[in-house]
Amino acid sequence: MSQIILNSAENSALIQTLQQSDSKVIPSIYSTKEVYAPSATTWFNQSPSSGGQPAAGSSLTYDLNKYGIAEQMLFTFRVKATITGTANGQFSCAPQGYIYELIDRVDFLSSSRVISTLYSEDLRAQHVNLSPAALAPIVQTAIGARYGAAMAGGTNKSEISTDYCLPIVFGFMKDINTQPNLSFMESCQVRITFKQPDSLYLAADTGALLSPLANQVNVRPTAADAGTLEFEPGSGIAGTLPVLQVRYKQYGEADTAQLLAENYNAEQLNMLTSRCFRENPVSFQPTAGLTTTFTQTIDLRNVDVVKAYYVFVTRDQSGQGAAEVFNTLAGIRTANQCFDIQSIKLTASGQEICTIGKTQNLYSRLTENGQAFNAVAAGSAIAAASVTGGNSVGALHLHNVYKIQTGLWENDGGGAWSNGWSMREMTNMRIEVTFPPMLPVGTAPTFETRDRMQDQALQANMTRYTLHVVEDCSTILSTASNTGRTVNSLTN
C-alpha cells in the first residue's frame, strides 16, 4: 500500500515541485534542537522598603535586588476584616474582580524614573487577552470572588480572611529576551498604589451581593469594622506586609560574559517592547427612561504607536446618587462587571476606520493561521452558586471588553511584532460606543440581558458609569552600556 502511494506521488507535478524545493526537510533525521544555556533560578520574597499599612491612595515600594534577570513577579497578600451587623445568611464578600477595586496602579521605576505603569484598567485588559490556560490560575488566585464566614457565639458579625496572588507582567516581561537584567541596570523599584482597600461587600448565602443599608436594593461597599482590616503577606510567607515575590535567573560566568558582550557592545542596548497607555476615562450618566440605543464618545489623546485598543464600561464605585439602584444576581451580575456594548466605531479625521459589533468582537484576536481566538466568550448560563464556590468570572462579563487589534494576536512565546498605528498624524481620533436599550424599571435580568444597564425607579438618581480605553503601545527601551541607565527612548 505504501508503494502505491509513493508511485502516485512521483506522477504529481505539485508533489515533485515540493520535492525539489529548498524548503524540504526530512523530520526524522535526528538533530538536537536549540538548547538554552543552563542557569540558576532563585525566588526572593521581597518586603516593602517604604510604605506602611495600605490605605486608600497609599503605596508600597519594593527595592528589587540585583540578583540577575527578573523572569516573574507575583504580588501576594492576605486581606482580613470583620463586618458587624450582619443578619443570618449574610456574609462579608470580596466579589469577582475586587482586585481591580483594590489596586490603582503598579509602577516599574529605574532610579526613581517611571519606566512602565499598569493601571487596574490595564490589568483587566491584559487578563482578557490571555489564553484560557493562562487566565485560569489568575481567576483562582486574583479575580474570583471570596466569601467570609459568620462568627460563632451570636456576635452578628462576619469575618473574611482571604489570599490574593496577582502576577505583575509589564510589557518588557512578555518576551524572554527583553526581561530586565537587574544586575546590570540602575537600581529598580516596583511601586504599588492602592485604590480603596477599606471597604468590602455583603452577600447572601446564594452569592448575590446585598445592600448594607436597610430598605434599599442598591449594592454599595460597606466599611469594615475599625481596626480589623489588615493586609498581610499571605499564607506560607513570613512578614507583616504584602510581599512581592520575584523569580530571578542567573547564568554561569562564561554565559554571562557572552550575554554582556553581545547585549552591551554598543553604547546602548535598544529593545523593542511595549507599555500600556490609559486614555482619560469618561464618566457618564444615561438619560432616564431611554427605550432606544444610545451612544457615548471618548476622544483619544495618545500619540504613540498603538498595537491594540481595549474598550469597556464599568459602574462607578463612588459618586452615585442616594437612590441609585444596582441589583446583582449570583453568578450573573457583580459590582465590578463590564456592561453590555452593542458596537464601537473608531474614526480619525471624521473618517470611519472600523465598526465592531458584539459578535464580531469575539473574533477580534486574529492569529497567524487565519482563525480568531477568544478566552472569555459569553459561554453558557451559570447557575447561582453557594458561598463555597465563587471562583467563576462569568459575572464579570469580560466578553464585553472590546478589542481593536491592528495586527495579529500574540501570546504564548511572545510572537512577532505584527503591526501598529502611529497616532501622531491621525487627527481627531474618537471612539463612539453604542449601548443597547436599558432594561425597564423592575425588569429582572435574564441570561440574554444579564449584563445590561438598568433604568431606575427614581430616575433622578440614574447609575453613573465610566467608559475606559486602554492602549497597548510599542516603545523602544534603551539601557546605557556604561551606566545601566534605562529610559523609554522612542515611542513614535
Please tell me the predicted confidence (pLDDT) of residue 383: 40
Split at pLDDT 50, 70, 90, the class of 382 is very low
Task: Give, in degrees to the nearest 5, the angle at Cα 115 between 109 and 116.
Answer: 100
- Alpha carbon 334 to chain centroid, angstroms: 17
Higher local confidence (pLDDT), 83 or 342 = 342
124-134 confidence digits (pLDDT tens): 999 998 888 88
Q: How does pLDDT run across 37-67, given as a tens digit for each residue? A: 999 999 999 999 988 888 888 899 999 999 9
Question: Mean per-residue pLDDT for 460-466?
Answer: 83
Q: For position 67, what pLDDT does the model report?
A: 92
Give the pLDDT score at 87: 79
Indicate if the alpha-carbon torsion angle 321, 80, 109, 410 is positive or negative: negative
pLDDT the model gives residue 289: 78
Tell me, what's the pLDDT at 384?
40
Rounded distance between C-alpha atoms, residue 424 and residue 156, angstroms:
59
Give the whole-angstrom CA distance, residue 3 versus residue 43: 57
pLDDT confidence of residue 389: 44
The answer to whether residues 423 and 303 touch, using CB atoms and an 8 Å cutoff, is yes
Listing from the earlier edge strand, what are the strands of the sheet with 343-348? 294-299, 430-435, 343-348, 351-357
The whole-number pLDDT of residue 37 equals 92
- Tell me how crowded residue 320 is: count the other CB atoms within 10 A of its CB: 19
What is the predicted pLDDT for the residue at 229? Answer: 85
Pairing relationship of beta strands 282-284 and 69-84 according to DSSP bridges: unpaired
What residues pair up with 357 in beta bridges, in sequence order? 343
Kindly report, residue by residue over 180-199, the tens digit of the pLDDT.
999 989 999 999 999 888 88
Residues 273/456, Cβ–Cβ less than 8 Å: no
Cell numbers at 210, concatenated:
446585598
The rounded distance, in Å, linking the Cα atoms of 477 and 487 is: 6
pLDDT average, residue stretch 359-370: 90
Torsions phi, psi for 3 (to 5 deg): -70, -35
pLDDT for res 181: 93
Distance CA 193, CA 423 (A): 29
Supply the pLDDT for residue 83: 87
pLDDT at position 388 over 60: no
Q: Where residue 302 falls among pLDDT bands split at 50, 70, 90?
A: very high
Cell 456574609 appears where?
A: 91
Concatenated DSSP letters of 198-252: TEEEEEETTS-EE-SSTT------EEPPTTT-EEE--TT--SSS-EEEEEEEEE-
Lowest-pLDDT choice from 112-126, 223-237, 281-295, 297-311: 223-237
For range 277-300, the mean pLDDT: 91
- Tell me what pLDDT residue 402 has: 96
**Bigger pLDDT: 107 or 393?**
107
CA distance 197 to 220: 14
Q: How many degrees, rounded to 5, is the angle at CA 88 between CA 84 and CA 94? A: 55
What's the burial of 29, exposed, middle or buried (CB within 10 Å: 0-12/13-18/19+)?
exposed
How far lies 99's CA from each of 108, 211, 293, 299, in Å?
19, 20, 31, 28
Confidence bin at 216 (pLDDT 50/70/90):
low
Greatest mean pLDDT among 9-13, 23-27, 37-41 lies in 37-41
For residue 486, what is the enclosing H or E element?
A: strand 486-490
Q: What local confidence, expressed as pLDDT, does residue 470 receive?
A: 97
Q: Which of 239, 221, 241 is nearest to 231 (CA)?
A: 241
With CA atoms as reference, report the closest residue to 342 among 261, 452, 198. 452
For the chain, the average pLDDT equals: 87
Structural domains for the chain: 39-490 (2.70.9.10)
Tell how far CA 299 is from the center of its chain.
22
For residue 401, give the C-alpha cell.
471588553
pLDDT at 251: 94
Rg (CA), the chain: 26
Cα distance between residue 486 and residue 264, in whole Å = 13
pTM here?
0.92
Q: How far is CA 247 from each of CA 40, 43, 239, rounded to the nearest angstrom?
A: 10, 4, 18
> What is the DSSP secondary structure assignment for residue 135, as one 8-state letter?
H
pLDDT in tens, 84-105: 877 777 888 898 899 999 999 9
Point out the least confidently predicted range of 138-142, 260-264, 454-458: 454-458
| 244-284 per-position pLDDT tens digit | 999 999 999 999 999 989 998 889 999 999 999 999 999 99
What are the beta bridge partners of residue 248?
A: 42, 70
Q: Does pLDDT of 202 surpass 50?
A: yes
pLDDT-based confidence at 291, cuts 50/70/90?
confident
Check residues 406 and 197 and name the one with the higher pLDDT: 406
Contact 153, 169 (CB under 8 A): no
Find all residues with CB under 8 Å of 284, minimum gap 6, and list them. Answer: 296, 464, 465, 466, 467
